Amino acid sequence: MKSYPKLPVKNGLYLHWLKPAPGGLVRPLGGQDGMSNLKTTCLGTGDGHPSGSRAHSAFLYEFPSVTILLDCGEPVTQTLTRRGIHPDAIDHIFLSHLHSDHLGGFFMLIQGLWLRRRQKPLTVFLPEEGIKPVQQLLCSAYLFPELMPFKTEYKSWTSGQPCSLGPLTATPFNTTHLERLRESFQPQYPQQAFEAFSFTLETGDTRAAHSADIGHLNDLDPLVTKPLDLLVCELAHVEPADLFEYLAGRNIGRILFTHVAQGHWEDEVGLRQLARDTLGGMPHEFAADGTEVAL
């Protein structure tokens, strides 16, 4: 039997994990290049189904002095590490709802921030119903708050109520993504609130919106009431033809479609053609893992 050298252990975990991966820790704090008003990186663009080619939902929104990680689909820790994102670079985590493809990587992310010695306080915004269960699961995984070299604060979303985060104003809006589940399961699970949110992200220079998961096209109404520089919009829970028609002619500088349902993703040529035909000259792209947009 082959023998392996013993590795140094601290707190039950191998110390070599503390070292950054090759190429790690290369990005400056805050991550921004100083050139753009907003850099958006699609870390995971899958549709929630298991996939060998697309990671689950995670997006990095880098404004000049505040960086948001929006959703934590797996394998977000690996993706951030590969991209050399500093453990202190993320200021706030937004969780749009509690489906596993948006939340599943959160627990490993916290373990990673502990092991890589994050120092900066972290705020996690999420649906109220998730705060206690998430804290309990972290404790069940021995990721006690007292173990962390950084403080974490959990805050709940209230639809329509803006959050001021330095130069950024983030406003959550309820979507109907979980309404059908609510109708079927709320009697059995009365403690669940079945909440899901979309967001506007505004600074003095830039207005962006992120649909996260919706249930109906009208969930997008509060995002598009004013002109947008960027809309990141899902395409798994509405029909492409309906969505393109809804968006056509609106004042949106750039559209990034993500979460594209696997069936449509496999018919990329047809989907692109339909988008071109309906959206005309509106700049739009279908995001893949790693797609970056700078405004």
Number of residues that bind Zn ion (CB under 5 A): 2
How far CA 287 is from CA of 45, 148, 276, 278, in Å, comes to: 7, 34, 15, 18
Range 180-239, binding Zn ion (CB under 5 A): 213
By beta-carbon proximity to Zn ion, the closer residue of 54 and 99 is: 99
Q: Indicate the residue among 99 and 210 with the shorter CB distance to Zn ion.
A: 99
Q: In whole angstroms, give the CA distance from residue 214 to residue 188.
A: 23
Binding mask 93-132 for Zn ion (x = CB under 5 A): ------x---------------------------------
Angle at 229 between CA 101 and CA 271, to 5 degrees: 55
Q: Candidates 22-30, 92-100, 108-116, 156-164 — which segment interacts with Zn ion by CB under 5 A?
A: 92-100
How many CB atoms within 10 Å of residue 16? 9
**Those residues with Cβ within 8 angstroms of residue 255's Cβ, 6 or more apart along the chain or in another chain:** 230, 231, 233, 247, 279, 282, 283, 284, 285
Instruction: Give 58 or 66: the residue with its C-beta nearer to Zn ion.
Output: 58
To Zn ion, the closest distance from the beta carbon of 40 in angstroms equals: 20
User: Between 99 and 116, whose beta carbon lies closer to Zn ion?
Assistant: 99
Min separation Cβ 218 and Zn ion, Å = 17
CB 102 within 8 A of CB 71: yes
The nearest distance, CB 195 to Zn ion, in angstroms, is 11
Q: What tokens does 226 get?
A: 């004013």
Is-contact 30 89, C-beta < 8 A? yes
Residue facing Zn ion at closest CB distance: 99
Q: Does 92 bind Zn ion (CB under 5 A)?
A: no
> Minimum distance from CB of 163 to Zn ion (Å)?
22
Please say which residue, 183 or 245, places its beta carbon nearer to Zn ion. 183
Q: Which of residues 20-79 bind Zn ion (CB under 5 A)?
A: none
Residues 6+ apart with CB under 8 A from 250: 224, 228, 282
Sequence-distant (≥ 6) Cβ neighbours of residue 61 within 8 angstroms: 38, 39, 40, 67, 68, 70, 201, 208, 210
Nearer to Zn ion, 57 or 67 (CB): 57
**In angstroms, what is the minimal distance from the CB of 196 to Zn ion?**
7
What is the C-alpha to C-alpha distance for residues 76 and 66, in angstroms, rounded to an integer?
Answer: 19
The residues binding Zn ion (CB under 5 A) are 99, 213
